[in-house]
Amino acid sequence: MVFTRKSPGRWLLVTCAADRAFRSLRACFLLSAKLGYSPLASDFTMQRDNYQQLVETFFQWDQPAIVTILEELLSAAAAGEADQSMAIMSQNYETAQANPEIHVLPGNLKDARDAIFPFFWGTDGWNNPLHLENVRGPANHASLIGAFACLLKNPNLCTDRYSQRSNELEVKAITALANLIFYHTQDPWGVFTIGGTISNFYGAKIGVERVVPGAMQAGLGGQRVVGICSAASHYSNQTIAGWLGIGTQQLLQIPTDENLAMRVDVLEQRLTELYRDQTKVAYVVATFGTTDGFGIDDLASIREVLDRVSREYQQPAPQLHVDAAVGWALTFLADYAIQENPLELSDRMKNIVERVQRHCAGFRHVDSVTIDFHKMGRGHYPSSAFIVNRRQDLKYLSRDVADTPYFSEADSRRDPALFTLECSRPALGPYIVMASLNGIGLTGWRMLVARSLELAERLKQGLEQFDFCRVLNRHTTGPSVNWWVLPQGRQASAIYDRLLAGELPEDERQRYFGEVRRLHQKREKVMDPKLDAHLGFTTNYGFRPHGIEIPAWKAVFFNPRTTDEIVDRILFSIEELI
């Protein structure tokens, strides 16, 4: 690919072509000599045959050779999955750095296979339905087809010159997701990024430009600029505040209520204080589905507060960005016909879906959103998207063609490089998303999401039967469950109520929290890895009454193959334990 249009080499070629009209090669030599070039030597000495062999092996399309190796890899992956008793191999970090060997002689595709195979074999695909410890599940096979197609063409989404129709696919995928999220949005736009962190970064950056116009060029000029999130928000917001240059200390955390939703009354109070102090408030990151407990912020109320208070103090309204990295997939249920109930959901589930729909309606009020398709979309990494509700808001990120010299032909109407943080961008996201959305279909997605909610509800209900357990996120509508397990005889809910009321002395609290952790560790030791699910543990699930961080056991239902029996077995294993 030629980036510099006026390279001397190209000029020379053009000149030679003109000279051919005079059928005078000599003239060309003369001309090039005049320009200071000598004709290329013809006795180019590199081993021609070996070179030819190299090119044939690695750059010519040898379909049988490629298919053979793909089949071998697929078989190995299937074998690993079929035998769930097989332990995952342990890492060998000690010599990974000491032996970064590179073969000396050119090999073939099998050498490529062998170079990665031990690590491929030793890596868990998270396909096991007993994996419940975090927000990651198996990737779906429609996504695999999409990702594979993308790798074969290897488009670069920086400008449409390097991606052709793949750029069109990005527009389509973003619009499809925007329609799910914002309902009937007029003019959405967005891009795929390498992760939720980067998608959140875009939202925060728009906010900074809103309150410090021209910060992209002139910087913050020593002004105090703050961002706001909830105490249960993802740690990536800290990363972003640091990298943006406003500083991690300028990211203010608003406490949450018991359901892990930002306290809007405290937000209003804080915002008023900040404006009184003449502080610039660039953005509020609301969370739609906190990583541990699936708390959902009240988006409509946050919008109302931001608009009203900023108007009162004559400040630009902060960017309202929603981190829906985990929670966005609930929007598949946003217009599920509860009355007709085609999926035959139980009454309890219909009630949950109704609450989901109320939460989803909040998206209409926000400026931008982060979606991780690689989480509840069960897509391959990376397939994260940043989407704005109104395309004109991208003006806060855009640069001139003059700032992106080798995209001199770039057109701001369709070339993302003029506003993206990244230059080269993989097209995996659009391929993964469109293949998954259309392979599985809306009804399929509704079934997958509803089933996750059903499994979480089953576990919550089961745990509630035990006096020594307390479900901490009882009323969040998501696929995750956070809870305490205490020794037999303890009244978990009474202890929790005293904690909330501020009546639990510190030493008692430490004792109970220690018990919650030790029982989790004990289960890890005695569990049967062939039958018992792997559960997660968090030292702080997000709700912090009186500033106290609360530990919890954790299960996330992302794997569609997890069964009722697996959930019941969790309950059994807890009863056995204590």
Give the binding site for ligand PLP (CB under 6 A): 135, 195-197, 234, 236, 287, 291, 323, 325-326, 372, 384
Helix (H, G, I), strand (E, B) or coil at 361: helix
Smallest gap from Cβ 574 to ligand PLP, in A, equals 26
Query: Quick one: 210 or 234, whose CB is closer to ligand PLP?
Result: 234
Residue 175 C-alpha from the chain's centroid: 18
Query: Quick one: 236 or 279, whose CB is closer to ligand PLP?
Result: 236
Give the burial string for 358-378 (b: 16+ CB within 10 Å, else e): ebbebbebbbbbbbbbbbbbb
Smallest gap from Cβ 327 to ligand PLP, in A, equals 8
**Strand 384-388's sheet: what is its strand order?**
189-193, 384-388, 368-372, 319-323, 280-287, 225-230, 251-254
d(CA 55, CA 58): 5
| Contact of 241 with 247, CB cutoff 8 Å | yes
Smallest gap from Cβ 197 to ligand PLP, in A, equals 4
Smallest gap from Cβ 372 to ligand PLP, in A, equals 5
Sign of the alpha-carbon torsion through 128, 130, 133, 134: positive
Q: Which residues contact 558 (CB under 8 A, 6 or more apart)?
A: 135, 136, 137, 375, 376, 378, 452, 479
Query: Quick one: 369 or 427, whose CB is closer to ligand PLP?
Result: 369
Smallest gap from Cβ 125 to ligand PLP, in A, equals 18
Helices (H), 465-577: 492-501, 506-526, 564-577
Query: Quick one: 136 or 172, whose CB is closer to ligand PLP?
Result: 136
Query: Quick one: 369 or 504, whose CB is closer to ligand PLP?
Result: 369
Smallest gap from Cβ 300 to ligand PLP, in A, equals 20
State the DSSP code for 155.
-
Query: Quick one: 166 or 287, whose CB is closer to ligand PLP?
Result: 287
Query: Quick one: 360 or 504, whose CB is closer to ligand PLP?
Result: 360
Smallest gap from Cβ 191 to ligand PLP, in A, equals 14
Smallest gap from Cβ 558 to ligand PLP, in A, equals 12
Query: Quick one: 453 or 566, whose CB is closer to ligand PLP?
Result: 453
CB atoms within 10 A of CB 540: 14
Smallest gap from Cβ 550 to ligand PLP, in A, equals 18
Query: Quick one: 233 or 301, whose CB is closer to ligand PLP?
Result: 233
Q: Give me the residues paired with residue 369 across strands.
A: 322, 387
d(CA 362, CA 389): 13
DSSP 421-480: S-SS-BSHHHHHHHHHHHHHHHHHHHHHHHHHHHHHHHHHHHHHT-TTEEESSTT--SSE
Q: Token pair of 215, please?
A: 């910060």
| Contact of 229 with 251, CB cutoff 8 Å | yes
Query: Quick one: 190 or 462, whose CB is closer to ligand PLP?
Result: 190
Q: Token pair of 526, please?
A: 């005695």
Pairing of strands 280-287, 469-471: unpaired
d(CA 232, CA 368): 19
Smallest gap from Cβ 5 to ligand PLP, in A, equals 37
Smallest gap from Cβ 16 to ligand PLP, in A, equals 51
Query: Quick one: 370 or 562, whose CB is closer to ligand PLP?
Result: 370
Query: Quick one: 185 or 197, whose CB is closer to ligand PLP?
Result: 197
Residue nearest to ligand PLP (CB): 196
Closest CA to 536 of 470, 481, 465: 481
Smallest gap from Cβ 542 to ligand PLP, in A, equals 10
Secondary structure of 263-317 in the HEC alphabet? CHHHHHHHHHHHHHCCCEEEEEEEEECCCCCCCECCHHHHHHHHHHHHHHCCCCC
Sign of the alpha-carbon torsion through 327, 332, 336, 342: negative
Residue 261 C-alpha from the chain's centroid: 21
d(CA 482, CA 471): 6
Q: Give me the residues paired with residue 225 across strands.
A: 280
Smallest gap from Cβ 382 to ligand PLP, in A, equals 7
Distances, alpha carbon 227 to alpha carbons 211, 224, 244, in Å? 11, 10, 11
Smallest gap from Cβ 196 to ligand PLP, in A, equals 2
Residue 220: half-sphere exposure toward Cβ, Cα within 13 Å: 18
Distances, alpha carbon 35 to alpha carbons 14, 30, 31, in Å? 13, 9, 6
Q: Give me the residues paired with residue 322 across strands.
A: 286, 369
Query: Quick one: 422 or 464, whose CB is closer to ligand PLP?
Result: 422
Query: Quick one: 228 or 274, whose CB is closer to ligand PLP?
Result: 228
